[in-house]
Chain A
Amino acid sequence: MRMKTKVRVGLATAAAGAMTFAMAAPAHADYAPSAADAVGVGSDTVQYLMDFGADGDTGGDLGYNSAGNVNKLVSFDATPDANARAGYLNGSTNATLLPLNPTIVLRAGTNPVQRPNGSGAGIAALLADANTTAFPDGEISYVRASRLPTGAEETAAGTAGFGGLHVVKLGSEDLQLAELKTGSNAVPLSAAQLYHVYQCDAGFTHWNDSGIGGSSSDSIDPIIPQAGSGTRSSFLSDIETAAGQSTITLGGCVKTSEENDPTAITSGNFGPAADAIVPFSGSRLALYNSGYFHDPATAFPGGAALSPGIKMDTGTVLGPVPTGSTAPNVAYDDNRGLFIVFKQKDLSSSTPFQPGIAKNLWQTLFSSSAGTPYFKSAPGQALVAAAGATGGYKDCGVNPTSC
């Protein structure tokens, strides 16, 4: 069950003069989950795995909620757009973006709160989700994540009395560098090269620089996903490690975009499209290429299937191996897991997920030593694959350092 609040943006601006009326209306435009529903937030990359897992795909494969059970599986997308793009306030321009800070209502009867956008943002929200009388297991049942929790996050979970963070791998994908599909000036870049590209280091700012090996004299326009994004964290960690470094300082040439949005490249808003590069989810690109997303510029029932206009940067690296590199001199490719994170203590909750059953929601959906949790089952894994990822369930346990 996927919830959007894009409509609410329009109401806030168009009905500014009718604020009193709007505030008096008790109903929300979107479904507000009940106290017993399974509610998740977090990663943009993983959101379609859970969207499909909850409600099925467009190919007729039905999801968990199709059983019609009383309590639902709900997954709030990372952004207020079903195409996974960022939302902006009225008055935003390409030159001056006005972030929306979109909100969601996590549970019926609660106030709107900021919508967590990304793995880090989702885990941060989970860590801040204290148990209350109204919600003894908290308001956030699980977090989607494209990276494992950090040690600091796991420590914080322990401090909060959660018993650590339990992780389940739904599947995996390849995180690679994306470029314009046709007419790109980009050449294959290794993780170590990208470290210097994203620091805007001399010798790595133009395609024909000595450290790059390309032929175009254009400037490279590196783009990085927004803060709080697991993709951003994974990418920066990858290129730091490959370069033999422990930190990276993003240079002034780097632009920030909502992750996994191909228009970051194709729009040309961050520089010539032919020169733009951004780390991009392989499962998302596969979903784009499957025809799932349709042209949002056309009103209901919608336009033609969108072509993302981008491709992954692959092939033989042309430039020399940067000094200090510790990684193979091949085009950047991080085969990574796609995860669900929840409080360890919730796994032993005594509250059945559905009337008449013995298992709680975490056991029902994610992790159980007896029987098969939904996302481990064949139907659940089929929907993970339908979202573009490679299936491969694994229960990683509590506070895993690898999985």
Chain B
Amino acid sequence: MRFATVMAGAATLTMTGAMLLVGAGAANAAAPPFEGTDPNEIGTLAFYNSSGTQITSGSITDAPIAAYTVASSADAGHTKATLYFYTPKNGIAPSAWTGEQSSLSTTYPNTSAPAPINGEGSNPVVTGAATDEDLSDYIADNPNTDTSTTDGYAGLYQVRVKTGTSGTYWSSDISVSGSTWTQVFPAVASSTQTSLTSSENPSTSGDNVTFTATESSGATHQAGSVQFSVDGTNSGSPVPVSGSGVATFATSTLAVGTHAVKATFTPTDTADFSGSFGTVSQVVQAAKTPTTTTLTISGNTTTGTAATLSGSVSQAGSVSFFDGSSTTALGTTTVTTTGGGPYTFSLPGGFAAGSHSVVAKFTPTDTADFNSSQSQPVTFITSTPATGACAATGSACSDTQTIQGEIPPGTLVISTPYTDTKPLDVGTLALSSDGTFWTGHATFQCITVTDMTSGGSPFAASAEANQLSQVPGSGNPSQPATAVTTINPENVGLSQISKSTAACPDGSTPVNSYNGSVSAQDNNAANGVPVSDPGSAGLGGGISHPVLGGSAGGEGTATYDGVLTLNAPTSTASGTYTGTILFTVSD
């Protein structure tokens, strides 16, 4: 009969198995009187929640009583464990107590359980389920009716785990008060938790990797030391933890592959605190070979035409092109030749107008053995193509003579009728009466200021001329390289300003609806001062010269004409000269 053979086998099993890593510490409280008398009890149990934290109490209506119940010693002869509840009875041997099966028979080791349960090897583990019988149901059927205050049985229940039909078991005793159960045997030391992190995971062979273990016990840290191990072999001596519970271990000698790194914390006060451990699966990868990428851009100096991006890479793979900080590739091309080679990529439509900083980023096909790389940034400028008269070579383009001043629409605007295609031409200059400089003038029509501002501030219009330059190709073909081909803007003047009466050059009728008074100020041109003159006569000197001023509260449009004078030193080379005048209005 199987019942007869069980007893003999029990004693031989008592000392087998490994110590529980986390859990039972010194028994500081008195053990129930039946403990130590049961030959079938071959070890103890520890209870854990679903996060792997040991628990020592809970509600009797919890199903399961614990997410994991772990035996204190190994049983490699079985693969399933089952949890039971029993009711201690004074005067009856524990083997004859009545009990019930609470859980399904669950498979161990449970590798999907959190640490430390998953590190318990062949220690039996019962994995709880919601379908398990809870303590309240058990107690309803099997109450502990002992009311003695002295025999040590009152309120106690025993939790057992069995792995087979041998009759032996691991057990722990719990006390039930109200709706709460509390573990009373074995007494449980306060738990600690140890986490372990890696500074680089995965790492590259040869890299120095630092493993940091952090130990805590609730909100505090216990004194003690951490023994680091790699693949089960201790690495160095135990490292004392700092005041913040930290101990580190650095190594650069890990071989290529996956390594089980473990940090086992042993508290100084082993009587009151249990040890704990953390693990990291460290992946070490072989070092990769660097690659190179070059980039050259051609074509597409003006918008609307394709640009060609070319270069070479040192391995087969793909090359993607990025403009500036954009993370969207302009395009991608591939190099299939083993060992790499040249590539060419045409960017349809080319680049937009402006300056571009382009890089080529290379991703090797064999990412396991080669690193990615990227080219140096290449700056590339694309312009908008010239149009109209300015598109013709050698034309007397005066685009820059468009003169206007503008502030935000609807407030205060100044404009002139002269445009790129209709510049103000002062004609051919003539020698001054005293023969010391060239001079010429023309009526500057329809300087128009529209003041629609509120608040009554008077407008103030000013003008500033820039240096005039000889239009390329307009001078004498034999003109020496040292010829003076620029004119100081001090030689530009605007004077004799008066309200417009004649039609403007664009055919429009001048508007003079300004309801305030307007004052004008002459800025007479210098008499052919050289370019080197630092003064600010005329409209020169790099400053704005007042030309018109409104009155407080004035609103409406004022249109004025003036005489533009251009004088030039006699040293100036012949040819066509252009320049700009910037009108500004403010209030």
Contacts and interface: CB of A to CB of B under 8 A. Distances in A.
Interface of A: 31, 55-56, 59-62, 64-70, 354-359, 364, 370-372, 374, 377-379, 382
A357 B101 contact: no
Interface string B42-82: 00000000000000000000000000000000000011101
B167 interface: yes
B427 interface: no
Interface string B81-105: 0101011010010011111110111
Nearest to B40: A68
B140 A371 contact: yes
10 contacts: A60-B80, A60-B164, A67-B86, A67-B98, A67-B101, A355-B92, A356-B87, A358-B140, A374-B101, A379-B82
Given A56-B165, A356-B87, A374-B100, 20 more contacts: A61-B80, A61-B82, A62-B80, A62-B105, A66-B82, A67-B84, A67-B101, A68-B167, A70-B98, A354-B98, A355-B98, A356-B145, A357-B98, A357-B142, A358-B141, A358-B143, A359-B141, A371-B140, A377-B101, A379-B105
Nearest to B95: A68
Nearest to A380: B101
A382 B140 CA distance: 23
Contact of B78 (A60, A69, A358): A60
A46 B11 CA distance: 38
A31 B1 CA distance: 8
A31 B4 CA distance: 12
A370 B140 contact: yes
A379 B101 contact: yes
Contacts of A356: 87, 89, 97-98, 142-143, 145
Nearest 4 Cβ contacts at the A-B interface: A60-B80, A378-B131, A61-B105, A354-B98
B96 A70 contact: yes
B105 A60 contact: yes
B281 to A, nearest CB: 30
Contact of B104 (A31, A55, A61): A61
A326 B285 CA distance: 72
A373 to B, nearest CB: 10
Contacts of B143: 356, 358
A64 B101 contact: yes
B100 A67 contact: yes
B211 to A, nearest CB: 38
A379 B141 CA distance: 17
Contacts of B98: 67, 69-70, 354-357
B104 A379 contact: yes
B137 interface: yes
B545 interface: no
Query: Which of B101, B143, B164: most chain A Cβ within 10 A?
Result: B101
Nearest to A55: B165
A10 to B, nearest CB: 19
Contacts of B164: 60, 62
A359 B80 CA distance: 29
Contacts of B104: 61, 378-379, 382
Query: Which of B78, B87, B98: most chain A Cβ within 10 A?
Result: B98
B173 interface: no
Nearest to B96: A70
Interface string B257-268: 000000000000
B162 A66 contact: yes
B4 to A, nearest CB: 11
A60 B92 CA distance: 29
Contacts of B95: 68
B129 interface: yes
Nearest to A1: B2
B399 interface: no
A213 to B, nearest CB: 47
B137 to A, nearest CB: 5
A355 B86 CA distance: 12
A356 B138 CA distance: 12
Interface string B267-288: 0000000000000000000000
Interface in B157-201: 162-165, 167
B587 interface: no
Contacts of B131: 377-378
Nearest to B84: A67
Nearest to B86: A67
B522 interface: no
A380 B145 CA distance: 28
A378 B82 contact: no
A55 B3 CA distance: 12
B425 interface: no
A67 B165 CA distance: 9
Nearest to A62: B82
Query: Which of B96, B129, B137, B142: most chain A Cβ within 10 A?
Result: B142
Contacts of A67: 84, 86, 98-101
Contacts of A61: 80, 82, 104-105
Contact of B133 (A60, A357, A372): A372
A277 to B, nearest CB: 38
A378 B137 contact: no
B132 interface: yes
Given A60-B78, A61-B105, A66 B165 contact: yes
Interface in B123-141: 129, 131-133, 137, 140-141
A374 B84 CA distance: 13
Nearest to A30: B1
A369 to B, nearest CB: 12
Contacts of A364: 141
A66 B92 CA distance: 19
A357 B143 CA distance: 7
Query: Which of A55, A355, A378: most chain B Cβ within 10 A?
Result: A378
B162 A62 contact: yes
A64 B87 CA distance: 16
Contacts of B142: 354, 356-357
A60 B161 CA distance: 13
Nearest to B99: A67
A378 B132 contact: yes
Contacts of A65: 165
Contact of A56 (B103, B105, B141): B105
A59 B106 CA distance: 10
A372 B165 contact: no
A378 B80 contact: no
Contacts of B105: 56, 59-62, 379, 382
Contacts of B162: 62, 66
Contact of A69 (B99, B132, B133): B99
Nearest to A386: B105
A66 B141 contact: no
Query: Which of B1, B78, B141: most chain A Cβ within 10 A?
Result: B141
B61 to A, nearest CB: 13
A371 B137 contact: yes
A385 to B, nearest CB: 11
Interface string B392-408: 00000000000000000
Contacts of A68: 95, 99, 167
